[in-house]
Amino acid sequence: MSFFTPQTRVVRIDEENRVTIRKLTYGERQEILSQCMQVSAGAGEEVSLDPARMQRMAMHKCIVSWDGPGFDGRPVTPENIDALPAPVVDVIREAVDELNAGLDAAEKND
C-alpha cells in the first residue's frame, strides 16, 4: 500500500446510517495543531492548546461522506457536522481517533 493512498474506513452509526472517514495527512495534523496552539511570549513561555477546537477541526477534515436517512440528504459540511447530535459524533470520533492512532499493519508492510 502506498503511503500516499488515502486510508478510509466506513463507520456504522446504526443499521441504516454510515459515515466514511479518512486518516489525516501530516500537513493537516500540523495545521490543526498550529491553529489550536497559543504560545505566550516572555520569560516564562507557556503553551496552551484548545482540545475542543482540535477535535472539531479533525472531524471536519476526516469525515468524507455519509449515507442514510438520518442525514436527511444534507451534504458533508463543517456546519452540518457541528449540527449532528453529540452521541453520533462520539461514535465517529472514536473511529477517527483509532484510524489516526498510528501506522497499521499494511503501512508497516507486515
C-alpha cell at 19: 459515515
- All cell numbers assigned to 49: 492548546
Grid coordinates representing 43? 520569560
pLDDT tops 70 at residue 11: yes
For the chain, the domains span 8-99
pLDDT given for residue 22 in this prediction: 97
The answer to pTM > 0.95 is: no
Would you state the cell numbers that stand for residue 65, as one nine-digit string?
461522506
Task: State the DSSP H helix or E strand holding residue 63, giving kind and residue range, or none if neither.
Answer: strand 63-67
Of 110, 9, 22, 25, which is closest to residue 64 (Cα–Cα)? 22
Q: Measuring CA to CA, which residue among 16, 28, 34 is closest to residue 99? A: 28
Task: Look at residue 105 in the predicted model and tell me its pLDDT.
Answer: 56
Please state the rounded mean pLDDT for residues 28-39.
Answer: 91
